[in-house]
Structure 1
Amino acid sequence: MRRTRAGRSRKLIKTKEKVIISALVCIALVAMILQPGSNNEALAVSNFKQPINMMYSFISQRNFNHIDEMNGPTYHYFRSIQLKKKEAVTEQDQAIPDDKVPDKDVKEEEAANTEKAENTNQAGLDKADNQEVAQEQNNQEINLHKVYLTFDDGPSAYTTSILESLNSHGMKATFFMLEPNMKKYPDELNQIINEGHVPALHGVSHNVSKIYRSEQTVVDEMKQGQATLLNLTGALTHLIRTPYGSAPYMKPSYKEAVQAAGFQLWDWTIDSNDWRYSNGEFVGKVIQQMENYRYKSSPIVILLHDRKSTAEHLPSLLTYLQSHGYETDVLNEKLAAYNF
């Protein structure tokens, strides 16, 4: 019984509060409507009926929002006040309590530690980068002081003279030889190998229309030269250089074919053009290219030919290389082949 009376009492108080609030709202609405000079929008209901409708809804509905019952300028006015109150409450809820606010000294210490860690990491990266650059520069320096002398089209009657010049300067070379010439000069062929130089293959015909007829004709000529070399000397090689170089005749499919056959294709980075000259002009051409070497990350591979004028003027080139601190080496299948 007491609980029932207490419940009724609370409901009566709430009803009185609603009536008072509604009355105040109605007075305010009437005042705004009757305000001189007001520019009201077209309303869904009459401005005078609106307070009466609100009063009825306010008393009859349990979940009543008096703002939603308004329209026109009246709605916008009270709606703006309501939104401002909500924003104020939200900002207050999101505010960090005093005991949660980071201490200034702590924040500064964390910032300092973060900066220190970033600096340490950057220093480590810089050190690693510097070491990598230094190693790369060192590798390039080694490559640029090592020269690979290569002779095409031999053996010939001038091979022995070339070998004598190389031996007198303590230098080695790689010989890309034609299969018919290996048969014609077997003694010179064996001399090349016996004196520590490297035999390599240059095909059979040295004829563009024959060797480059197809992928298979290139492979066949190299295999024929390989078999002849093995038969005459017992030496087996997979190093090849195609006539006139790989460009433009060795198309991608041709290169794939020789690679699939187990051959390693080599071109050159310095062309002596010694076949053009008879008075040793090629020596100056080679020196000029070496002093202005463009392929800084590639080995210095010099193209020469096994011929008379080259044999006669080769000592001048070897003397230059020796006096400028260059050392020679031979090509081998463990190196990364250079080709056009």
Structure 2
Amino acid sequence: MRTSTVVATAAVSMLVSAGVAHQTGALPGQADEARPSAAPVELAVAPQQLEVLAGLPCLPHPAMNVSLTNQGAEPVFADSFLTADEPLELSRPSFSSYLPPGQEVSVPFVVTAPHGTAPGTYEVTGELLQRLPRGDTVTARVEVTAPPPKTPGSNVLLGERATPSSSYVTASTAFNPCGAVDGDRTWSHATAWNSANSGVFPSTYEVTLPEPRTMNRVDLYTSQSASSTPERHGLRDWDVEVLVNGSWRTVAQVRGNTQLVVSSVFEPVETTALRVVALASNDGKYARIAELEAYYDVPEQP
């Protein structure tokens, strides 16, 4: 019988084709379909080996970079296609770019393995599309390992799938929807959650569990930074709800909060999802959560 320490190995393969940019009728991002490519475009991926935990979609995932380099004397349009066998998932299926002579262009992409991915060896290959005259391939290896088990005393929300009602995004700032369950209690746009619309309440932050979990305590960390305090910008009023047999049940209510962290303790309950229903903040503008954690504290024996 295999244990959770078994490693699954997979490969990610990429195809590239190139069309000379000055050819009549050529369009950006479109490969030359009329004749074999003569443009020397180099395809590369780095690093060539990556380790990924199965499940836990909201934990930070290390990225790979795919790059296209025009080593010729003519500008070209180049297309690359990324493929992976199920159940592995890629953050993007393709990458296309205009490449002047000598130009290198690269983009990051993420490989994930969903919850329940069985340990074993996965065959991941590149597929040459019939419309392309030819393709070159490169391969990177991805080691998929099972996550550590969550036991009593573990934060059962850590890394699980988060679905906020909205997230604040501008041209310069984008709060991560996963920011409140990424294991980082720091307040920043990369590690926290901020609702999108000023003065709009209620806002919700929902976390879905892959299997039922028992919990009896929820810790909520609101915003605090060099320019912000919980008294000025923190979450003031909210409800904690859990999903039981398809219905939401309120297990805790917080009103008038001015603290950085609030622990809500309630009777043990088995649930498949938890959400915070934010009702008001101390500045009346946004719902802000730096981190949301849930635990099952085993009662002490008399």
What TM-score, normalized to structure 1?
0.18
Structure showing the higher helix proportion among its residues: 1
Whichever of the two has the greater Rg, that structure is 1
Structure showing the higher strand proportion among its residues: 2
